[in-house]
């Protein structure tokens, strides 16, 4: 039993990322967003590497995520979202 607990704890600790690893992951995510949405923001007239250009990239990315996953990403609280929207509660009574 004790060995199982030690192994489980070691596994959990090894799954944790360091702050440097998380920062590198966020940088990679931002680089991917720039590659994907940067050309669209260029065509919209934003100058590269400005705050407005970065804001455009984030806005386009957010728009795509909302369209892809919906506004509530699966759960809209106790009375909303996909879990309550189809049955009796979704009829607008």
Q: Total domain count for the chain?
A: 1
- Tell whether 36 is covered by a domain: yes
User: What is the pTM for the complete model shown?
Assistant: 0.57
Whether 30 is in a domain gets the answer yes
In tens digits, the chain (93 residues) has pLDDT values of 676 776 676 666 666 778 898 899 999 999 999 999 999 999 999 999 999 999 999 999 999 988 888 765 555 555 555 555 555 555 554
Does residue 81 sit within a domain? Answer: no
Tell whether 72 is covered by a domain. Answer: no
Contact (CB, 8 A) for 9 and 37 = no
Residue 8 lies in a domain: no
Residue 91 belongs to a domain: no
Show the domain range for 48: 23-60
Residue at 84 is within a domain: no
38, part of any domain: yes
């Amino acid at each position: 039993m004790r060995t199982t607990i030690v192994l489980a704890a070691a596994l959990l600790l090894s799954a944790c990322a360091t702050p440097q690893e998380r920062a590198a992951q966020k940088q990679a995510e931002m680089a991917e967003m720039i590659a994907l949405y940067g050309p669209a923001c260029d065509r919209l007239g934003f100058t590269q590497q400005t705050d407005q250009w970065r804001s455009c990239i984030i806005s386009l990315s957010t728009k795509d995520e909302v369209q892809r996953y919906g506004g509530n990403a699966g759960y809209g609280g106790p009375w909303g979202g996909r879990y309550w929207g189809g049955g009796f509660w979704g009829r607008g009574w």
